[in-house]
A and B are shown apart, each in its own frame.
Chain A
Amino acid sequence: MLESLPAKFREYGLDADVRTLLIFRKAMQKGLVKTLGDVYNVLKGIVVKDPQMLGPFIRAYYQYFLNIDIQNGDRLDDAIARSDTFQKWKEDLFEKSDKFRKLDLEDLIEKFLDDVHLTSYDIKEIISGKDIFDNDNPDLEDNQGNSSIETPRNLLDRMADYSDLSLEELLERLEKIKAQQKDKHSGGSHWIGTGGVSPYGHGGAAKNGIRVGGSGGGKMARKVLGDRNFYPVDIDSLLNDNNIDAALASLKGIIEDTAHDKLDVPQTIKKGIKRGGLFIPELEKITDEKLQVMLLIDNGGYSMSPYIRNVQKLFRKMKTRFAHDMKVFYFHNIMYDELYTDAQRMKPISIQKFLKNDPNYKVFIIGDAAMSPYELNKWSMDSLMGIQKKFKNVAWLNPEPYRYWSSTYTINVIRKIIDMYQLTPRGIEKAVQSMNVK
């Protein structure tokens, strides 16, 4: 049952596999899943592991269980309004009572969302709320005597309790709900909140004049769809403020082990006792993470200017986070025999001096590598090769889209000397990975 769920959810970039189904099944066994709203809740807890995956999750859920297709940039209300599922639900509702015909589209969608996201927690709350209401009503006590105790029970009865339903039956019902959305001709489906997995008739509660509000799942779904914070950053797009964090996550991979010795007290004591009180110091190796980064930025050309702030922000963020050694240098188009230590390129430092830095520095060169061919002269070529030879890890990050690379002569030349990657989170990740391998 629901075997197609992991594959479908993966299409939306979500992490779903057999384990997802196993946990979901277990949740069903434990009685956590009784309504469609519960399905949403439980799956959300299992599948969504990052606020950014909430958006794709909501889309996957609506598509998979309700056959409601939410397009990019779509509003939830619009997607619902044009879906067959909503039309069918509306017809059913009108059949039930004419008073619903008076509702306008907005209210209908609101009600639809409430129905979809109605959880068994909400139902319990309604029941216990009714309980309190009845017990607090002095008139009821005087006039009707015992019936005040009866009422909540009646309500429960009317909300047909399916808690005896076996797991297999429950799964079957869920599967049927899905099938119903696909088949346009299966009229009269009473599935959302009522005939579906729901053990309790939602209509029953509503008829008693108690407004059933979903647990806010619908409200959240609506909010999420309009908010970029709940969608994964396109890791192939160029760096911007939003995906800087994603890029950082991959940059952390630059780890170096520097070993030094430390007195191992527990071992010393243990062995000392075995020797009958003769304590000889035992040593253990301690490894530290060491991260030395050098950043060479092309801040000359007009083409580079949109990226500089972000690149610096990226590395500055990293610096504050790890408080490691980082040096920044600047150049214009290409480094001849000098680099600059300031962004205004007023304070030069010779390449010779630059090359005296620790060879363990990871060097990132950021530039579009686009210039006039004559700029690749003896000095610049010597500098490039010198840097490549001296430092173990050098990567060139290029903001220029990859498809233009082959048509730019200077990019092709430089690429042959220094490994070049795109200045995108994925490119940085690749660069870092190759550095880690070395």
Chain B
Amino acid sequence: MAETSYWTGSKKYLCNKELAQAFHMSRTLGMPLLVEGEPGTGKTELPLQYAADLGLELFVYPVGSKSNVEQFVARFDHVKYLRDSQIEILNAQREEKGMSTKLTTGGRDTEKLQDYVIKGPAAKAFSTPNAVLLIDEIDKAPREFPNDLLYALSHRKFVMPESGEVIEVSEENMPAIIITSNREQELPTAFKGRCIYHYIHFPEEATMREIIQKHHPKVEVKVLDVALDMFYHLRNIGLERAPTTREILNWLKYIKQFASDESIEKIKKLEGLGVLVKTQTDLEKVQRSILSNPRDFKKRSTPN
């Protein structure tokens, strides 16, 4: 039976309720969960933390511009196959000549084609009960990849190349499949139709506070207040690339080394700004709007 309990996050990972429900739904229905949302909102973290928390086996397939279904499912190692068959001929010749030394094929047998099949994450996940399969950043893939993938996933069955071995999984034993996308390209409608979809909204201040406390439990409240205030202010001034969860967590990692008063000063001066702001134009904008005008910011930052 597939793992279909309702999972709401772990000590280190705060799983938003809506996401947890969508995830539960996708596992119960045996459909892949397609997660979209701003970068740095924990899309990839979900399967990683889920697998770690429940002790399930995780298989990851990072998608790139050259991805194809062969890498994802399984491929046949022709080079090894060639090498081994050549070795067999060589060994036979040596034997004829009465030589006793033989080269080894490393336990592989050219008669057994399955010895040369290299299984990809999909084939592995489908043959492991209760596995978790992450297909990361599918929007980076070439256009035909999602559709090929769709075919492979909806049949719940893979045929291994050359060897013809069949890996099949029942609907009940489907691995939990999580597909993430940054929306850099539109995915085919048919593909989306076969997935349960969830869009991660950017967390509000209260939620962000909880997330931060999971990662940096020792940061003092007054430091956190100032940092969050600055963070959401930065998100609101219309930067090209607004800082996200990942950025504020990294920033606090730097800030928390200092004593609290000192770190508040550092936050106000935006020290370690490079962690938060990633482009030159944004950097200039921040310097214009905050650093050159700290008074304005202070007014905003005092509560009420």
Residue interface bits B24-42, CB-to-A below 8 A is 1, else 0: 1110110100101000000
Indicate if the CB atoms of A32 and B25 lie closer than 8 Å: yes
Complex Cα spacing A272 to B34, Å: 44
B-contacting residues of A (Cβ < 8 Å)? 15, 19, 23, 26-27, 30-32, 41-42, 45-46, 48-51, 54, 119, 121, 124, 215-217, 220, 249, 252, 265-266, 269-270, 272-273, 277, 321
Complex Cα spacing A17 to B155, Å: 21
- 12 A-B residue pairs with Cβ-Cβ distance under 8 Å, sorted by A, are A27-B25, A41-B22, A45-B196, A45-B197, A49-B197, A50-B197, A121-B17, A121-B20, A215-B18, A220-B18, A272-B82, A273-B82
Indicate if the CB atoms of B17 and A26 lie closer than 8 Å: no
Once A23-B29, A269-B79, A269-B82 are accepted as A-B contacts, the answer to whether A46 and B196 lie under 8 Å apart by CB is yes
Indicate if the CB atoms of B26 and A45 lie closer than 8 Å: yes
Q: 3 tightest CB-CB pairs across the interface, nearest first? A: A49-B192, A266-B78, A45-B196
* A32 proximity list for chain B (CB < 8 A): 25, 28-29
Pick the residue among A27, A48, A49, A270 that contacts B78 (CB under 8 A).
A270
What DSSP secondary structure best describes chain A's contact surface? helix
* A31 proximity list for chain B (CB < 8 A): 28
* B17 proximity list for chain A (CB < 8 A): 121, 215-216
Nearest-CB residue, chain B, relative to A46: B196
* A270 proximity list for chain B (CB < 8 A): 78
Does chain A have a CB within 8 A of B85? Answer: yes
Pick the residue among A26, A48, A215, A269 that contacts B29 (CB under 8 A).
A26
Among B94-102, B181-189, B208-216, the stretch that binds chain A is B181-189
Q: How far is the CB of A212 from chain B (nearest CB, A)?
A: 14
Complex Cα spacing A272 to B83, Å: 12
Does chain A have a CB within 8 A of B59? Answer: no
Complex Cα spacing A395 to B85, Å: 58
Give the interface centre of B24, B143, B195, B201 by most chain A CB atoms within 10 Å. B201
Indicate if the CB atoms of A121 and B21 lie closer than 8 Å: yes
Does chain A have a CB within 8 A of B156? Answer: no
A-contacting residues of B (Cβ < 8 Å)? 6, 17-18, 20-22, 24-26, 28-29, 31, 34, 36, 76, 78-79, 81-82, 85-86, 89, 143, 184-186, 189, 192-193, 195-199, 201
Q: How far is the CB of A167 from chain B (nearest CB, A)?
A: 15
Give the interface centre of B79, B186, B192 by most chain A CB atoms within 10 Å. B186
Indicate if the CB atoms of B78 and A45 lie closer than 8 Å: no
* A252 proximity list for chain B (CB < 8 A): 143, 185
Q: How far is the CB of B278 from chain A (nearest CB, A)?
A: 15
Indicate if the CB atoms of A45 and B25 lie closer than 8 Å: yes
Complex Cα spacing A23 to B26, Å: 11
* B29 proximity list for chain A (CB < 8 A): 23, 26-27, 30, 32
Complex Cα spacing A49 to B187, Å: 10
Once A269-B78, A272-B82 are accepted as A-B contacts, the answer to whether A27 and B21 lie under 8 Å apart by CB is no
Q: How far is the CB of B178 from chain A (nearest CB, A)?
A: 14
* B184 proximity list for chain A (CB < 8 A): 321
Pick the residue among B18, B20, B143, B193 that contacts A15 (CB under 8 A).
B193
Complex Cα spacing A15 to B188, Å: 13
Indicate if the CB atoms of A216 and B18 lie closer than 8 Å: yes
Q: How far is the CB of B143 from chain A (nearest CB, A)?
A: 8
Q: How far is the CB of B280 from chain A (nearest CB, A)?
A: 15
* B197 proximity list for chain A (CB < 8 A): 45-46, 48-50
* B189 proximity list for chain A (CB < 8 A): 15, 49
Complex Cα spacing A30 to B78, Å: 45
Complex Cα spacing A124 to B24, Å: 14
* A217 proximity list for chain B (CB < 8 A): 18
Indicate if the CB atoms of B21 and A215 lie closer than 8 Å: yes
Complex Cα spacing A272 to B31, Å: 43
Give the interface centre of A30, A41, A54, A266 by most chain B CB atoms within 10 Å. A266
Q: How far is the CB of A224 from chain B (nearest CB, A)?
A: 9
Indicate if the CB atoms of A265 and B78 lie closer than 8 Å: yes
Complex Cα spacing A78 to B196, Å: 31
Indicate if the CB atoms of B21 and A124 lie closer than 8 Å: no
* A215 proximity list for chain B (CB < 8 A): 17-18, 21
Given contacts A46-B196, A215-B18, A269-B78, 13 further A-B contacts (CB under 8 A): A26-B29, A41-B18, A41-B21, A42-B25, A45-B26, A50-B197, A54-B199, A121-B6, A217-B18, A252-B143, A269-B79, A269-B82, A321-B184
Nearest-CB residue, chain B, relative to A264: B78
Indicate if the CB atoms of B185 and A266 lie closer than 8 Å: no
Indicate if the CB atoms of B198 and A45 lie closer than 8 Å: yes
Indicate if the CB atoms of B89 and A277 lie closer than 8 Å: yes
Complex Cα spacing A6 to B197, Å: 18
Indicate if the CB atoms of A269 and B26 lie closer than 8 Å: no
Q: How far is the CB of B43 from chain A (nearest CB, A)?
A: 14
Indicate if the CB atoms of B81 and A269 lie closer than 8 Å: yes
* A273 proximity list for chain B (CB < 8 A): 81-82, 85
* B26 proximity list for chain A (CB < 8 A): 45
Nearest-CB residue, chain B, relative to A122: B17
Q: How far is the CB of B118 from chain A (nearest CB, A)?
A: 13
Nearest-CB residue, chain A, relative to B82: A269
Q: How far is the CB of A40 from chain B (nearest CB, A)?
A: 11
Q: How far is the CB of A109 from chain B (nearest CB, A)?
A: 20
* A119 proximity list for chain B (CB < 8 A): 21
Indicate if the CB atoms of A124 and B196 lie closer than 8 Å: no
Complex Cα spacing A252 to B82, Å: 41
Complex Cα spacing A216 to B20, Å: 13
Complex Cα spacing A266 to B70, Å: 13
Pick the residue among B28, B76, B79, B192 that contacts A30 (CB under 8 A).
B28
* A15 proximity list for chain B (CB < 8 A): 189, 193
Q: How far is the CB of B71 from chain A (nearest CB, A)?
A: 14
Indicate if the CB atoms of A124 and B6 lie closer than 8 Å: yes
Complex Cα spacing A269 to B199, Å: 47
Q: How far is the CB of B78 from chain A (nearest CB, A)?
A: 4
Give the interface centre of A41, A49, A249 by most chain B CB atoms within 10 Å. A49
Indicate if the CB atoms of B79 and A265 lie closer than 8 Å: yes
Nearest-CB residue, chain A, relative to B195: A49
* A19 proximity list for chain B (CB < 8 A): 193
* A49 proximity list for chain B (CB < 8 A): 34, 189, 192-193, 195, 197
Q: How far is the CB of A179 from chain B (nearest CB, A)?
A: 27
* A266 proximity list for chain B (CB < 8 A): 76, 78
* A249 proximity list for chain B (CB < 8 A): 185-186
Nearest-CB residue, chain B, relative to A52: B199
* A54 proximity list for chain B (CB < 8 A): 199
Complex Cα spacing A41 to B21, Å: 8
Give the interface centre of A45, A119, A252 by most chain B CB atoms within 10 Å. A45
* B28 proximity list for chain A (CB < 8 A): 27, 30-32
* B36 proximity list for chain A (CB < 8 A): 51
Indicate if the CB atoms of B199 and A51 lie closer than 8 Å: yes
